[in-house]
Amino acid sequence: MNHPAKRKLTGLLIFVILILLAILFLLPILIVLMNSFKGQFFISSAPFAFPTFSEAPGQPMTFAGLANYLNGLQKTGFLSAFGYSLFITLASVGLILLCCSMAAWYLTRVRNAAVSAIYYLFVFSMIVPFQMVMFTMSKIANLLRLDNPVGIVLIYLGFGAGLSVFLFCGFLRGLPLEIEEAAMIDGCSPIQAFFLVVFPILRPTAITVAILNTMWIWNDYLLPYLVIGNKYKTIPIAVQYLQGGYGSRDMGALMAMLVLAILPIVVFYLTSQKYIIKGVAAGAVKG
């Protein structure tokens, strides 16, 4: 077999494998979406069947319309949970972008042993499992009165700083220092040089950091549950409360609320995912 034909066959095989993987990954989401429009009894008895819109001999109508969505909204207080999740996510991501980009800029521009030690502490924080610190963290958060939607933003800043600083540093190490020196010769202070010159250049990495942290914070269950608990329920906590005692659960409302929970982050990811590879590759190459 000649080389062009072999390359074409290899490309076709890779394409087929990727299509199968895409179907495999999308299938759970499609099943949840399909079951969110079915009656609760039919979700358990026929989870992989499409909703039926009319009765047939020996087959009842399984389509429930928007009843599951209305029931879930009423039971979970979804709109309130959506507001808390939105505030915590936007505030946390904004603070991470601001503080971590400035920290990375300082770490790459100042060269001494103390700065190197701080950088490696940021890197080390990425490999420490959350389970090792969660009980100590929740106790300290309670003592410092951080157990509220504003306080948890600071906690997310701490947990998100490791990866964010690492990505920003990787990009900034390849940024010529002469650009900043030229800005300072033109009369910029160091802070002005950062916000007017450096930060706009960081846009690909900043978008990558924003996407990764948004997906993590929006879907996070354990940290809000430990820190703010039932008083300020985020979406994952609100959805969890549809599971009652002794294993009972409202499957219809649960499926409907899962669809509403993942819909914003899926839309956000689909509109922004092209920047992830671009930003990570930029940081990796320039580092």
Q: What domains are there in the chain, each with its CATH number?
A: 85-286 (1.10.3720.10)
pLDDT at 56: 65
d(CA 31, CA 23): 12
Name, in order, each residue with C-beta under 8 angstroms of 204's C-beta and a sequence gap of 6 or more. Answer: 171, 275, 278, 279, 282
Angle at 166 between CA 161 and CA 169, to 5 degrees: 115
Q: Report which of 222, 51, 55, 201 is spatially closest to residue 152, judged by C-alpha positions.
A: 222
d(CA 230, CA 17): 44
d(CA 125, CA 103): 15
pLDDT at 25: 87
pLDDT at 101: 94
Find out whether 214 and 87 touch, Cβ atoms under 8 Å: no
Name, in order, each residue with C-beta under 8 angstroms of 62's C-beta and a sequence gap of 6 or more. Answer: 38, 39, 42, 46, 49, 51, 52
Convert 223-242 to b/e letters by CB count within 10 Å (16 or more is b): bbbbbbeeebbbbbbbbeeb
pLDDT at 287: 42
d(CA 78, CA 148): 18
pLDDT at 181: 83
Which tokens sit at 96?
Answer: 């991470």
pLDDT beneath 50: ranges in the chain: 246, 283-287
Convert 160-183 to b/e letters by CB count within 10 Å (16 or more is b): bbbbbbbbbbbbbeebeeeebeeb
d(CA 270, CA 287): 27
Distance between alpha carbon 270 and the CA centroid of its chain, in Å? 13
Q: Report CA dihedral (196, 198, 199, 204) to the nearest 10 degrees.
A: 140
Indicate yes or no: pTM above 0.85: no
Which tokens sit at 43?
Answer: 């979700």
Q: Is the dihedral of CA 29, 230, 164, 92 positive or negative?
A: positive
Q: Report CA dihedral (150, 152, 154, 155) to the nearest 10 degrees.
A: 170
Using DSSP, state whether 74 is helix, strand or coil. Answer: helix
Which tokens sit at 176?
Answer: 């010529």
pLDDT at 282: 54
